[in-house]
């Protein structure tokens, strides 16, 4: 059998086994409490953050003014050693926690995504590094609401 066919057979086998994972195993990764919280404090509790420190080692790149809150591009880079997680929160959104990314050791702690913003608000980047939490914020003026 050629290497290509062998590779395709193995890939198909792995993919089919993933399709049969129980939904509960997939759902266990979802942090329902944090993502469904309606305040920043509740989101922090859901993420098990009791204390955070403002840091200049976290860079948030986002527009000063967003034409449409439905699509706001955000980039977050952590220059903190041993970054384990980056969470993106929007202070005045109905559910503030937008995303939570985990990083394996040695991965560049950098994310780019598009988010929805209900209104003019601060974007918060919460970074977990060496089992401590660090925070940065940037204000974005939303000219047209993106979500309600």
> What's 71's domain CATH number?
2.60.40.2470
**Residue 12: predicted pLDDT:** 67
Distance CA 24, CA 121 (A): 35
129: three-class secondary structure by DSSP = strand
What's the structural domain count of the chain? 1
Query: Is the Cα torsion angle 94, 147, 35, 98 positive or negative in sign?
Result: negative
Chain centroid to CA 23? 22
Q: Are 127 and 102 in contact (CB under 8 A)?
A: no
Q: What is the pTM of this model?
A: 0.78
Bigger pLDDT: 136 vs 105: 136
Bigger pLDDT: 27 vs 85: 85
Residue 21 lies in a domain: no
Residue 22 lies in a domain: no
Q: Are 94 and 119 in contact (CB under 8 A)?
A: no
Instruction: Quick: pLDDT tens for 48-104.
Output: 999 999 999 999 999 999 999 999 999 999 999 999 999 999 999 999 999 999 988
**Residue 56: predicted pLDDT:** 96
Residue 60 lies in a domain: yes
């Amino acid at each position: 059998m050629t290497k290509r066919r062998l590779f395709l057979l193995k890939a198909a086998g792995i993919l089919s086994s993933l399709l049969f994972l129980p939904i509960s195993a997939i759902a266990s990764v979802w942090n329902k409490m944090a993502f469904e919280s309606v305040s920043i404090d509740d989101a922090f509790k859901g993420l098990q953050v009791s204390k955070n420190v403002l840091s200049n080692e976290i860079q948030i790149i986002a527009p000063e003014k967003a034409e449409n809150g439905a699509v706001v591009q955000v980039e977050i880079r952590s220059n903190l050693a041993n970054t384990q997680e980056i969470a993106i929160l929007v202070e005045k959104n109905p559910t503030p926690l937008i995303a939570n990314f985990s990083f394996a050791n040695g991965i560049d702690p950098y994310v780019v995504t598009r988010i929805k913003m209900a209104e003019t608000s601060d974007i918060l980047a919460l970074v977990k590094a060496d089992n401590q939490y660090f925070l940065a914020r940037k204000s974005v003026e939303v000219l047209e609401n993106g979500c309600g």
